[in-house]
Chains A and B, each alone.
Chain A
Amino acid sequence: MTAGVSRLRPILIIASTTVIAMVPLAMGQAEFVSVIGASFAITVIGGLTLSTLLTLVFIPTFYIGLEDALKWFYSLNWKNKLIQLILFTLMIFLIYTYIDKFLWKLITTILTIIIIPSGTWFVMNSLRKARETVISTDENINIYIQSLVKIYERENRWSREWKAGARIRKRLGLERQYNSFKDMGQIAWQVPLLGYIIYFTYFYLDKGFWIFLFSMGTWFILSGIWTSFSKLITNLNAKRERRWLKTMSGILDIVVFWIIPLLNLIWFLHKWENLVVVLILGILWFSGLLIYKTGQKLTRENIDIYRLEGRFKGLRKTFYKIVAVVPLIGKKKKPFKALSCVSLNIGNGMFGLLGPNGAGKTTLMRIICGILEQSYGKVWINGLDTQKMREELQGLIGYLPQEFGSYENMTAHEYLHYQAMLKNIIDVKTREERVTYVLNAVHMEERRNDKIGSYSGGMKQRMGIAQILLHLPRILVVDEPTAGLDPRERIRFRNLLVELSRERVVIFSTHIIEDISSSCNHVAVLNKGKLRYFGKPIDMTKEAEGHVWQFNIPSRDFGVFVEKHLVVHHMSEGDNVRVRVISEFSPWEDAVNATPNLEDAYLWLLRRKNFPGSVNNEKSN
């Protein structure tokens, strides 16, 4: 690899200079040149380009892949090796018996070399793993969440790697700046290239298809140069406002992005004389441009598609929605950090996740269950990495999402049997016993044969719990299970979870304080993706000590006061109002400290600005 990297520059210099030197000869049209010289030059250009690509890209990539594949192949047992060798021999026999053309023999042989081992790997790494027991039944479960970060709408790995160089240059301040005309020297080399490609495309080439292809390339180079100039104009205007420069920039922008493609289409029509093809190309080209420009506008102006105002808002909304989903040229996605370096340690018992909407509770739960992949950090279950052993560990987890449904045309009996089968409960007797057990546990046995579509909200919620209990999971993760339930149903549900937590880990999220205080051994408070508290609920009240105040305030002052302070509750007492306030400092002259309860502590944790969170976490861990 080091040898390859150190040879990169000399190989590229030799190849590119030779190719450039050969171009005039390759384009020669005089009789004595076109017979031998041009074909010689074209062969050299093609051969050199291909061999450069092979040397710099294909061979190193293939070599690294082959090395890994061989290492994996040697680690297999003899049965798997034998099966693959037999398959490989069979495929080679079929290829050389039934395929005549050399090119197809070559392609199919390469495909065979790739597909047989990768297919075996694919099969070996999937079905088998779900049946493996990785944690014995007598071992206590412990979940360790280590510096977990989740960023939604994050670019994929390929894009990140592609832009890594630019990011490093930006960080080091080595990014290209266009502040004066002198800075344009950095792109001066592109001007002769543009001149050459214009000549080659519009004056040298004859065939319509190639003209089309190269005209696209020409346009991309031109728009690249224009983008640099446009940055220069913006920077010059920022220093000193010049109206003519701004107007010219606007006009040139229209010329480059709209007029030149139109001129290209007219040129194609002149060359091809095929209106239908030119029209189709035109529609595609201009649609792409429109999507690109609208996408840029949506990103630049941070437009909320769902809150549009003004004329044609329905039409605009539909178009913007299309632009938002078009990959590459559509609206640029804005990364959003949902979890920020969260570390927790969860053992047996009830564990509550408390936080307002959008705090990151659901994201955290989904990552624990392997539904989502984290961006950074790790989740360990008894020391096993959940990213590496997702399928094995999922057998231990029962997850009930916040918003879930079921197949409403099925009865509870059918749905639970289907879910049980998916969870590897294949034996009919065991399955029937398990279905009856979970239906009894959630008090749904009498509605067993009714269609799920006919159930009330609470009954559907109980069905959800029944379904996650089927395989007797050792970790239960339930996301806001009590939301939308009536008080009696909520208490019954909470008691069921407490009962289940005696022999397993139960993680449940809520924004109802009472659920935590009456059931959880440990609680974590999340706000805006950050951990605000982790420990016992009873200790949480200590966090708010000295920050809860009670006092009487005249009714006339209350309106102004309530806008500036966090009032937990208030009650009228004659001309005064008795208030309870959360505040770092005394909010009123007669204010006295009150004993905080869990709700006060929760509100204080959400409001508090300075967090000794890390110290608290370390202590708790």
Chain B
Amino acid sequence: MIVYNLRIIFANKFIWFLAGSVGFYMGLSVIYVFSNDVSKMGDLYGVFLFSGLLLVFYPSVFGVQNDQDARTIEILFGIPNYRYKVWLVRIVLIFAIAFIIMLVFTFLSSVLIVKFRFVNMTAQVMFPVLFLGIMSFMLSTIVRNGNGTAVLMIIFGLFFMILSDGLHKSQWNIFLNPYELPWDVNETTWAIIALKNRIILVTGSIIFLLAALYNLQKREKFM
């Protein structure tokens, strides 16, 4: 099941996003390796976050539309519990693959650039990646068009980025960087804020996922 789903997920333009993610990571890593400045964890978090978002963007935004284009959607709707067996499995696989690739990235950085706990870093990066990835999947079940969803996600992404300036110390900041401790907040308070932020992101992801699965029940709108 995993192998066949991977063949479907990896089809079409996914390879370009994967290449983009690897290219972005490699480019910045090379700069960091030859830089005299000791790299900050906060900066690395930003690099990994962008690479992670590139990895999940295409399959979560264009997943449903690819099935519509391949004219397989009606066949899939005829399968009992198609929401779980098809789309839930695929979305879980997308994030599993993204997690594994991110593990490789963080491991390489921890060896080549600066030593850090790479599993911990990967887990931290995956929270906003999960939130934004599932949000885009949910939007794709409402808009039912890959390009439209991509435009909406870019608008939302910009909106969250604008907000992150004002909310940089708040648990509500989607792009909260746990490795960038503000000078006027003590470590314990910061750890609590980061934990609450992660709980909010996971809760949001679960709600978006349930909403997406619910939207997939409205079969008439997809045909």
A-to-B contact residues, CB < 8 Å: 122, 126-127, 129-130, 152, 366, 369-373, 390-392, 394-395, 397-401, 403-410, 414, 417-419, 421-424, 467
A422 with B70, Cβ < 8 A, contacts A130-B81, A394-B78, A404-B75 known:
no
Give the chain B neighbours of A423 by CB distance below 8 A: 79
Question: A404: which of B1, B71, B80 is its contact (CB, 8 Å)?
Answer: B71
- Cα A422 to Cα B78 in complex, Å, equals 10
Known contacts A372-B219, A373-B220, A414-B7; A404 and B72 CB within 8 A of each other: yes
Q: B40 interface residue, CB < 8 Å from A?
A: no
Question: Which residues from chain B contact A372 at a C-beta distance below 8 Å?
Answer: 219-220, 223
- Complexed CA–CA distance, A221 and B219 (Å): 38
- Interface membership of B11, Cβ < 8 A: yes
Known A407-B7, A407-B8, A409-B11: A371·B77 in contact at CB below 8 Å: yes
Q: Please tell me if the beta carbons of A421 and B78 are within 8 angstroms of each other in the complex.
A: no
Contact call B11/A407, Cβ cutoff below 8 A: yes
Query: Is the Cβ of A399 less than 8 Å from the Cβ of B75?
Result: yes
B74 within 8 A of A: yes
Judging by beta carbons under 8 Å apart, are A391 and B4 in contact?
Answer: no
Q: Closest residue of chain B to A392, judged by CB?
A: B80
Given contacts A405-B70, A422-B79, contact A371 B86 (CB under 8 A): no
Is there a chain A Cβ closer than 8 Å to B84's Cβ?
Answer: yes
Specify which chain A residues have a CB less than 8 angstroms from the CB of B75 in the assembled complex: 399-401, 404, 419, 467
**A and B contact pairs by CB, cutoff 8 A, 28 listed:** A126-B81, A126-B83, A127-B81, A127-B84, A129-B81, A370-B78, A371-B77, A371-B223, A372-B219, A373-B220, A391-B80, A391-B81, A392-B80, A394-B78, A397-B78, A398-B78, A401-B71, A404-B72, A405-B70, A405-B71, A407-B8, A407-B11, A410-B4, A410-B8, A418-B1, A421-B4, A422-B85, A424-B80
Closest residue of chain B to A104 (Cβ to Cβ) is B196
Listed from nearest, the 4 A-B pairs whose CB atoms lie closest are A405-B71, A130-B80, A418-B4, A401-B74
Chain B stretch 69-119: residues in CB contact (< 8 A) with chain A: 70-72, 74-86
Q: A371-B219, A405-B72 are in contact. Are A414 and B77 (CB under 8 A)?
A: no
Contact B1 A421 (CB under 8 A): yes
Q: Which residues of B contact A366 (CB under 8 A)?
A: 74
> When chains A and B are docked, how far (Å) is the Cα of A426 from the Cα of B4?
14
**Closest approach, in angstroms, between the C-beta of B82 and any C-beta of chain A?**
8
For B80, what are the chain A residues with a Cβ–Cβ distance below 8 Å? Answer: 129-130, 390-392, 394-395, 424
* Alpha-carbon distance A130/B81, docked complex (angstroms): 7
Kindly provide the distance from the CB of B61 to the nearest chain A CB, expressed in whole angstroms.
18
Distance, CA A418 to CA B1, complexed state (A): 6
What is the distance, in angstroms, from B23's C-beta to the closest C-beta of chain A? 24
- In the assembled complex, which residues on chain B have CB atoms less than 8 Å from the CB atom of A424? 80
Q: How far is the CB of B190 from chain A (nearest CB, A)?
A: 16
A119 and chain B: residue at smallest CB distance: B210
Contacts of B77 in A (CB 8 A): 371
Q: Which residues of B contact A373 (CB under 8 A)?
A: 219-220
Does B79 lie within 8 Å of A394, measured CB to CB?
A: yes
B71 nearest in chain A by CB position: A405
> A126 to chain B: which residues have CB within 8 Å?
81, 83-84
Determine the chain A residues whose CB is within 8 A of the CB of B74 once the complex forms: 366, 371, 399, 401, 403-404
Would you give the shortest CB distance from B7 to chain A, in whole angstroms? 6
- Mask, B7-19, CB within 8 Å of A = 1, is 1100100000000
Q: How far is the CB of A431 from chain B (nearest CB, A)?
A: 11
**Distance of B79 from chain A, by nearest CB (Å):** 5
- Least CB separation from B70: chain A residue: A405
A contact residues around B86 at 8 Å (CB): 422
Interface pair A409/B7, CB less than 8 Å apart: yes
